[in-house]
Amino acid sequence: MAQERDFSEAFPQSLELTDDDSILQIVWDDGHTSRLRLDALRAACSCAVCQGHHPSQSLNLKPEQFPDMRIADIAPVGRYAYHIVWSDGHDTGIYTLKMLREMESSA
Ligand SMILES: [Zn+2]
């Protein structure tokens, strides 16, 4: 398993909900800005409920399934991830910095 922070040493400087709370905007300390649609972020949840323990168990979530998705709570997990609680009650998602950084800006 790869180390959690081997991708770069970039760290979020600020997190902000923009565009009527539909976009999570992350400004990284290396100057990069990520703008992530919440529906895409919700669909990308890597927890065992959403992805299963085997690819055949994956729910194959699509952003279209999550219109008007909102973040109910977001909290850092150490210095490597964020725990996001969604407005649909889903609260087992851990989003690593690597995953957030590598997600395509979708807006
Ligand atoms: Zn999940």
Block mean pLDDT (10 aa), the chain, length 107: 56 96 95 95 95 90 95 95 97 95 78
* Amino acid at the residue 18: T
Q: How far is the CA of 75 from the centre of ligand 1 (A)?
A: 16
- Residue 18, beta-bridge partner list: 23
**Residue 53: its pLDDT value, please?**
87
Q: How far is the CA of 11 from the centre of ligand 1 (A)?
A: 23
Task: Please compute, for residue 7, the number of CA atoms within 13 A of its CA located in the half-sphere on the CB side.
Answer: 12
Q: How far is the CA of 45 from the centre of ligand 1 (A)?
A: 4
Q: What is the pTM of this model?
A: 0.86
**Residue 5: its pLDDT value, please?**
47
Q: How far is the CA of 63 from the centre of ligand 1 (A)?
A: 13
Q: How far is the CA of 34 from the centre of ligand 1 (A)?
A: 21
- Tell me how crowded residue 69 is: count the other CB atoms within 10 A of its CB: 20
**Residue 107: its pLDDT value, please?**
60
